[in-house]
Amino acid sequence: MSRIFKKVKEISNLQESINPATEKMLMQRALKLNEEAGEVCAAVLKLSGYKSTDETPQEIKENLKEEAIDCLITSLDVINHLRMSEDEVVYILEQKLNKWKTKHLKVK
């Protein structure tokens, strides 16, 4: 993950050096994340049969994988924009994973 985080940071910082309007950049990144999440949802709807498509289930799954990765990259771009260190990201991620685990492993 460290290598990926560094690569996203490098590209993100390059973007900012070209266009340093930081408040606008954060909004653009957040909107891009929303766009990518919408593409994930569209693929899920296709896979579930709620949205018509000519794509095969395998093609939809491959597209879904790519869109999910786009969400991850865009999330890391937002994180970089907020100037979070990798240690801070890992710390918060571990907290969130523990919370997620507790929430989803409750016996009903």
How is the chain split into domains, by residue range?
Answer: 2-104
- pLDDT band at 2, cuts 50/70/90? confident
- pLDDT band at 21, cuts 50/70/90? low
pLDDT tens-digit series, residues 38-76: 999 999 999 999 999 999 999 999 999 999 999 999 999
What pLDDT score does 104 carry? Answer: 87
Mean residue pLDDT across the chain: 90
pTM for this model (two decimals) = 0.83
Fold of domain 2-104: Helix Hairpins (1.10.287)
What pLDDT score does 37 carry? Answer: 98
3-state secondary structure labels for all residues of the chain: CHHHHHHHHHHHHHHHHHCCCHHHHHHHHHHHHHHHHHHHHHHHHHHHCCCCCCCCHHHHHHHHHHHHHHHHHHHHHHHHHCCCCHHHHHHHHHHHHHHHHHHHCCCC
pLDDT for 106 beyond 80:
no
